[in-house]
């Protein structure tokens, strides 16, 4: 009888190896240590099962509501269409693709809602460098403007607004992103039109 870990000769009926101390039933697979490092996307407890973000008052941000010339709020409210009155945004990605979105959504390499969450869009980015997290950020609409919230991504999110400098997003907090802004997701980005 030999030890399956170190290969030492064992006496018949031995329960442990006298050389390495391993159990005679141990195998190399059972001795392999579990990797303690988390994956590139870690699930954190969420304060709200619906949105997964912390609500922040929207006043105080440098953003201007964009209305079409000659339209007021009443005209906009009557123009519901297939989006239920929500604004549409075109996201132009650094990968060359564009996506028209409205309502709420998630963006990442393989975006996946948490249990109890529902979204209008799941936007997948092809990123061979794996710099973008599986579920990198969440987006939504408020008063005709797009907002984003970093979902505790591994490499973070930066917003570059046309009238401001770069702003690193605090995870879980909403930030308004006016049209013409650039949102950087690690090595990838998209612009909002």
CA gyration radius, the chain:
25
For the chain, the domains span: 1-34, 73-192
Q: Are 18 and 10 in contact (CB under 8 A)?
A: yes
Q: Are 156 and 150 in contact (CB under 8 A)?
A: yes
Distance CA 175, CA 63 (A): 10
Give the pLDDT mean for 119-129.
89
Compute how many other C-beta atoms are within 10 angstroms of the C-beta atom of residue 67.
12
pLDDT in tens, 130-179: 999 999 999 999 888 999 999 999 999 999 999 888 999 999 999 999 99
Please report the pLDDT score of residue 65 as a whole number. 33
Measuring CA to CA, how many Å separate 57 from each of 6, 136, 166, 174, 188? 63, 22, 20, 9, 28
pLDDT at 56 over 70: no
- CB crowding 25-50: b at 16 or more within 10 Å, else e: ebeeeeeeeeeeeeebbeeeebeeee
Looking at domain 73-192, its CATH architecture is Sandwich (2.60)
Give the pLDDT mean for 96-111.
91
Give the pLDDT mean for 99-106.
92
pLDDT at 64 over 50: no
Q: What are the residue ranges of helices labelled H in the chain? A: 28-31, 73-77
pLDDT at 74 over 60: no
Q: Are 124 and 133 in contact (CB under 8 A)?
A: no
pLDDT band at 40 (very low <50, low <70, confident <90, very high): low
pLDDT at 184 over 90: yes
pLDDT at 79 over 60: no
Please report the pLDDT score of residue 57 as a whole number. 35
pTM: 0.57
Q: What are the residue ranges of helices labelled H in 1-130? A: 28-31, 73-77
Measuring CA to CA, how many Å separate 111 from each of 116, 181, 186? 15, 22, 16
């Amino acid at each position: 009888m030999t030890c399956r870990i170190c290969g030492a000769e064992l006496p018949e009926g031995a329960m442990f190896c006298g050389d390495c101390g391993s159990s005679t039933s141990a195998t190399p697979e059972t001795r392999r240590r579990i990797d303690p490092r988390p994956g590139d996307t870690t699930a954190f407890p969420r304060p709200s099962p619906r949105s997964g973000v912390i609500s922040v008052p929207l006043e105080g941000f440098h953003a201007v509501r964009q209305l079409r010339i000659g339209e007021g709020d009443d005209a906009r409210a009557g123009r519901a269409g297939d989006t239920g009155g929500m604004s549409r945004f075109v996201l132009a990605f650094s990968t060359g693709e564009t996506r028209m979105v409205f309502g709420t959504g998630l963006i990442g390499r393989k975006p996946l809602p948490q249990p109890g969450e529902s979204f209008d869009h799941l936007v997948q980015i092809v990123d061979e460098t794996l710099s973008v997290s599986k579920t990198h950020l969440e987006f939504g609409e408020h008063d005709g403007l797009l907002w984003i919230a970093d979902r505790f991504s591994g490499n973070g999110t930066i917003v570059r607004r046309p009238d401001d400098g770069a702003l690193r997003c605090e995870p879980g907090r909403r930030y308004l992103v006016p049209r013409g802004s650039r949102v950087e997701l690690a090595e990838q980005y998209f612009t909002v039109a």
